[in-house]
Structure 1
Amino acid sequence: MAEAPILMFDSGVGGLTVLREARVLIPDRRFVYVADDAGFPYGAWEEPALRAHILELFAGLLDRFRPEISVIACNTASTLVISDLRQRFPGHPFVGMVPAIKPAAERTRSGLVSVLATPGTVKRQYTRDLIHQWATKCHVRLVGSQNLALLAETYMRDGFVDEEAVRAEIAPCFVEQNGQRTDIVVLACTHYPFLANRMRKTAPWPVDWLDPAEAIARRALSLLRHETGLAKSHNDGQLDLAVFTSGRPDESIRRLMQGFGLIVQA
């Protein structure tokens, strides 16, 4: 009998950054990558409507794919709906993504940390609670980017991006205060690591760009059953799938998915 897959969910292609790390750590498992492109971008939604939308989606996804665990590879969705998902589907393990504020606070030398996120993640009380819990000794600037996720999607589709647009989006992250400078920027959206090279190029000074993808992959690994061990072939030859909620991914997205070794399912 085929082993249950790992379901990885995002609003678009950003969760591929987490999938990339998860495959390194969990090479023996099959993945189903779900992109809610019908709902993208999540920043355009009112919170109650988005919460209901994601809960309804998961009712169908869990029934259809019967995954062993589900990874919500999206900070906006995780901070909004992870508790509701666990309550609605008790017994099914969910791995969420939250801004990496704790490790940033532990690593910073200047005490100046910025959290680069979507406007929804920035305004959510969940994020502010993380700062209160872990980073009270730091100056944490929350930067809500309206356009960076869209720029990342464009870059992944087309292979190029307007560097000046990237520069404008990240500029508020860089703070100079009392002779100190921001030294860590938390990438609190899974789309953003795809633009890391452009961010480094357009940044006014070097910083540590903190990408939580590997930590999320390790958390997923810790929740899996391991009766079969890593010597098992990749899920008996079954292919990793990409599922788009619109049902109509364009040709550039299909090529991108194929480049990640995913078969787009109709």
Structure 2
Amino acid sequence: MSDRPVLVFDSGLGGLSVLRELRVRMPDRRYLYIVDDAGFPYGDWQEEALATRILDLFAGLLETHQPQLVVIACNTASTLVLSQLRERFAVPFVGTVPAIKPAAEQTRSRLVSVLATPGTVQRQYTRGLIESFAADCEVQLVGSVRLAAMAEAYLRGGALDEAAIHQEIAPAFVEKDGRRTDIVVLACTHYPFLTNAFRKVAPWPVDWLDPAEAIARQAGKLMTGAPSTLPEGFDLAVFTAGHPDYTTRRLIHGFGLHC
């Protein structure tokens, strides 16, 4: 039996969508949710500096918390440093990468869009997934500068600007030769929290592919230790910028976390 947690890491609150699915699949585990809000948004960073930051953070996090498993609930961090994390540290890592393979398997029109952050769109890792698994599809890469921050604000109780959301997602909808985009890959863990708004402003219905369930399924395969012996109670959230404000504390409390 073990009291070592599953560590879930994200730049902000988007990884809560993954934590939710992890709890469904592994309800008998304890979780530690790490928010790198001091570095948010990751899209503003140069790649080398961001990679150094994340690797340095994990050196301290793993020594302090000794997790059984780490879930990188962030496409940007995963596509940038997942291989380096696995090489450097012995703990198992589960990453979050654009769900291009299942999108290619499910699309009927062969027109697929990937809605992501600019960094994820530009990274060779993403283009490699397309070459490997979606070569027979036309894949539109859409890098949104604003959606992650909009999701953060919405989670904290802010209002949504539907016109702004429409502007961000509009390039994901492509019509060609009588065909239309039928699947949009949500390649940022913040975006599932905006799915209802996406559906409302979308020009036509599509399948919005959320990778959280697949991430949780992979984590379950790697989790071989016995369930936690700790008593029931709230799991822990740690914010790299220090103690969060009241609105954020109330939000994470609703996800069964305390800080």
Q: TM-score range by the shorter chain?
A: over 0.9
- Residue equivalent to 1:153: 152
Q: Can you give the 5+ residue segments of structure 2 that lack an aligned partner in the other structure? A: none
TM-score normalised by the chain length of structure 2: 0.97
Map 1:38-187 → 2, pairs under 5 A? 38-89=38-89, 91-187=90-186
Give the length in aligned residue pairs: 259
Amino acid at match of 1:254: R
Deviations 1:47-94 (A, max 9, x none): 0000000000001110111100000000000000001111111x2100
Identical counterparts, % of pairs: 65
Q: Is the 8 A contact 1:2 1:236 kept in 2?
A: no
- Give the deviation of 1:226 after TM superposition: 4.2
Give me the whole-angstrom Cα distance separating, in 1, the residues matched to 2:238 and 2:225: 26
Q: Can you give the 5+ residue segments of structure 1 that lack an aligned partner in the other structure? A: none
Give me the whole-angstrom Cα distance separating, in 1, the residues matched to 2:113 and 2:213: 20
Q: Is the 8 A contact 2:117 2:145 kept in 1?
A: yes
Give me the whole-angstrom Cα distance separating, in 2, the residues matched to 1:66 and 1:50: 23
Residues 261 and 227 (structure 1), Cα distance of their counterparts in 2 relative to 1, 3 Å cut = closer
- Residue equivalent to 1:236: 231
Q: Is the 8 A contact 1:30 1:238 kept in 2?
A: no
1:6 equivalent to 2:6? Answer: yes
Q: Is the 8 A contact 2:34 2:237 kept in 1?
A: yes
Q: Is the 8 A contact 2:2 2:225 kept in 1?
A: no
- Give the deviation of 1:27 after TM superposition: 0.5
Give me the whole-angstrom Cα distance separating, in 1, the residues matched to 2:139 and 2:175: 12
TM-score normalised by the chain length of structure 1: 0.95
Q: CA RMSD in A?
A: 1.2
